[in-house]
Structure formats: C-alpha cells, structure tokens
Amino acid sequence: MVEEPWRWNMQRCSRHAPRSAMALPRCCRDSPRKPPFSECRGIRSLLLELRQFHARMCRSWALALLVVLAICGPTFYSLLPAFGSIHVTVVKSLDQHLRGARNSRKEVEMMLENIHQKGLEPTKEMLVSNSVEAEDDRDMDGEQTSANMTKPRHAAIIREEFLFEDGKAPFPSCHASSIVELGSGTFLAAYFGGSYEGSGDVAIWTSRLKVCLFSYVKGLFRAGHWERPVLVDREPDVPLWNPVLFRMPDKELLLFYKIGEEVQKWSGFMKRSFDNGVTWSAREQLPPGILGPIKNKPLLMKDGRLLCGSSTESWNAWGAWMEVTDDAGRSWKKHGPIYISGVSAGVIQPVPFLTANGTVRVLLRPSSEVGRICMATSGDGGITWGFATPTDLINCNCGFDGVKLHDGRLLILYNTVSRGILKVALSEDDGLNWRDYVTLENTAEGEFSYAAVILASDKLIHATYTYDRRQIKHVVLSPSELKHPESLE
C-alpha cells in the first residue's frame, strides 16, 4: 500500500506548527495533494495555540484583579459593608487559582506532540487528562508546590501552611504560638523554640507573614509568605515560655513572656515594638506576682483597660487571675482568683471575651481531674468573679484559644480527648452551648495543641498551633463557611 503524501506532510505539520496564520506551512503547501483546511494538523495546532493564548491573557487580567482585591479588600469595608463577603470569595478564588497547576506553552506543545505521535486528533478531554496527570506529578515531586503548603480539606479552610519547613528552623522543637495582625495583610507569630520544652536553650522567636507581589513570579505567592524565624530574647541556661502578642490601638506592639526553670518559678517579662516587631525594646520585668497574659491574647475594653488572663500552677492548687493594665503594661492591678468551688487543682489559662450584653466571661483550661472546659463570669468588667463551672466541651488538660466573630458567634480551637485531635467549635449563646464544626487534625500519634486564634480586619479567622512540636502551623478559616455542625458524638 502506497502512503498518501499529504498524510505524511500532516505528520510533519504536527511538529512544525506555523507561527503565523497568514499562510499554510511549507510542508503542506508543497505537497502534491493538500488536505482540507480543517484537516491540517498544523493549522489545528495553531488555532488551539491561539485559543490558549487568548485564555491565558484573560486569566492574567482576572488574576491581576484578584490580587488587587485580595490585598486592598479591608480598605473598602467602611465604604461598602457587603464587600467583606466578596473579599472572602476573592481570597479563596485567588488561592485556588494559585494552588492549581497551569500549563505553560512548552507543556502544551509537548502534550500535542505526544497525541500526534499516537496518530490521534487532540481533544479537550485529552488535554484535561494530561493536565491533571502533570499536576499530580508536580505535587508528588514537590517542584511546583510550596514545601510549607498543604491542601485544604474543608470548605471553611482557605489556606493551611507551616511557618517553616520541618528540620530547617534554628531549633528542633517549638511550642506555644501567638499571632497578631499588623495591618496591610501582614501578621506576626511568636513562639518558643529550643532543644525541648524546659531546656536551657529555649528562646522566644517570631515569624512574619508578609505580602510580596513579586513572590508570585517565584510560585510562592499565596497572599503572602512566612519569613525565616527571628530571635527576640533568650536567657543563658534558663528557658523562656509562652509568648503572647498584642497590638494596641496606637500601633504599639506588646510581647509578654515568662522566664524560669519551671512553671512554679516563672517571672513575667515584656518587650515593646513601635515598628511592627522589626526591633524591640529592652526586656522589662513585670511587678512581683504579675505574669502578664499566661497563654492567650488579652481583651481590650472600651475604657482602655487591657484584661490579661493569667494563672498559677503550684503543688496542689491551680487558679486563674485577671491582671489589668490601663497604660500598656506600665502599671497593674490583679483581680481574682477564679477557680472551681471545692476543687484545688482546677483551672488555668483564661480566654477572656465579651458577651452580647457586655459582661466579661472567661473560658478556662481544666485539669485532668475536671476534664471539661470551664467558664466563669464577671458582672463588673473583670473585677469580681463567680465560680468557674464546667461546660459540655471535653478537654484533655490542654491549652486552647477562642475569639468572638463579627456575627456574634463565639469560636474556639480546642483539643478533645487527646492532643492528636484538634477541633473548631462554635457557640451562639456566649459559651453556654457548643457544637463542633470542623476537625482540623485527627492523628492518634500526633500533637496539634496550644492553638492561638484571632479575627483579622478582613473578617477571616487566623489561627496558629503546635504541630508535633517540630513546626507551627497557620490556618485561615472563613466564618461564612462555618454553616453546618458536625454530628454529635
């Protein structure tokens, strides 16, 4: 059987796609028998390439708009309240766009070449199939995916990432993170890190989440990236503990932490920053008996007082206190104790919040004997307190944190029966009743503990927590996607 010349020329066209639509390829033009225009694979490749170029241009403009809206979204909240929900959608769309692999021109040509060599006509289904396979390959070898990024598993989870890669931090172990928003999409996290908790080399470190448009070109742009850990303070041969960040309305940034060989020997200290944590003041020691916020962020009252939930853990007595300052930590008053009636080793590490009617409440970490998160109420702005009583939330004697959302719901990130299970729970009646909405972590052998959580200016929830004592994980949640509670166990 004699091969038809024009079919051979069509195969050549698949390897020599024309760069201009003004004329047919030479291999087709010189053939004894030219195929119909619609059958020339060179022409089909050209048309496909032009369509893809047009689509890429449209995506580029759309991506540019998404970037502008994602970064500048909070600026427009006061002008257009409805923009808040639009901004959440934009951030999710941007992150999904950046998570998905995009085929370059070279990759498309290679796919077309492989299809043509098989003697097949390129179809949309073939290109999609090849694109998915290439994306899976890139995720497996890690060349196109940030090493710190994990894929979200729930509609409410906008992004998940680690502050630093496992094994690449200046310390082998870390714990007890805190997070604060600095403005313009920038966040700062603090934590302690060293050989192990309680070791003499444990110091206070910070990591900064910074927006950088140019990092998109490098494939790292996901509304910002985490910079390397920075040392803030250390004491030779004495461990540092539980840093807590808080930004005052005048933009003064406060960092509280503890120093001592063990919990019973803690002394309270703090530092100040007036440039968003780039530089810090000299170490300031708090007055005797004042430790500052023991784990969780303070609550700023309308009268300017800063309510700092503190606690003590002695040999056979656990109790919480409310340490109050109205001048950013320069002078202090102490109110309490807050404890469970008849229980000596009961509660520590308060999470203060305001109820709908303006009263102050705290959620409290329970001892193993108590086993359930407790709550106490103050009717006079945090001066006098009633006894703490257990809620229906099971807790394995592990620190947690919470925040009041813009819609009035109260959210907490807490561990249930073990530190290997981390859940998001919500209350619509200021802590009286609770439902679990999202399980962030569930691994029996792991530890995902000591969560810190804030509500950012873009109305998104930002949380950090310890990940197996080797990393700090950052998670962003959309409150609008927290619609359906998990089934009760």
Where are any strands of DSSP class E within 44-165? 149-150, 157-162
Report for 75-89, 129-143, 373-387: range of highest mean pLDDT: 373-387
List residues bridging with 390 in a β-sheet: 374
Q: Is the model's pLDDT at 167 over the cut of 50?
A: yes
d(CA 414, CA 393): 9
The mean pLDDT of the chain is 81
If you ran DSSP here, which 8-state letter would residue 34 be given?
Answer: P
Mean pLDDT of 441-445: 93
Mean pLDDT of 42-49: 65
pLDDT at 54: 66
Residue 451 or 7, more confident: 451
d(CA 437, CA 82): 25
Phi, psi of 43 (to 5 degrees): -65, -40
Q: Which of 121-130, 276-285, 372-381, 420-429 bottoms out in mean pLDDT, i.e. has the lowest?
A: 121-130
Q: If pLDDT is split at 50, 70 and 90, which confidence band does 77 have?
A: very low
pLDDT, tens digit (0-9, with 9 covering 90-100), for 255-286: 999 999 999 999 999 999 999 999 999 999 99
Mean pLDDT of 287-306: 98
* Residue whose C-alpha is closest to residue 456's, from 415, 410, 403: 403
Strands 347-354 and 333-338: unpaired
Residue 335 or 82, more confident: 335
pLDDT, tens digit (0-9, with 9 covering 90-100), for 7-31: 444 444 444 444 444 444 554 444 4
- Contacts of residue 71, defined as CB under 8 A and 6 or more positions apart, other chains included, come to 184, 185, 211, 223
Mean pLDDT of 185-211: 95
pLDDT, tens digit (0-9, with 9 covering 90-100), for 468-481: 999 999 999 999 99
- Contacts of residue 251, defined as CB under 8 A and 6 or more positions apart, other chains included, come to 183, 274, 276
Q: If pLDDT is split at 50, 70 and 90, which confidence band does 488 have?
A: very low
What's the angle, vertex CA 181, arms to CA 250 and CA 233, rounded to 5?
A: 85
Tokens of 63: 């991506």
Q: Is the model's pLDDT at 73 over the cut of 50?
A: yes
d(CA 346, CA 358): 26
List residues bridging with 334 in a β-sheet: 323
pLDDT at 92: 53
Per-residue CA distances from 146 to 160, 226, 400 (Å): 11, 11, 28
pLDDT at 149: 59
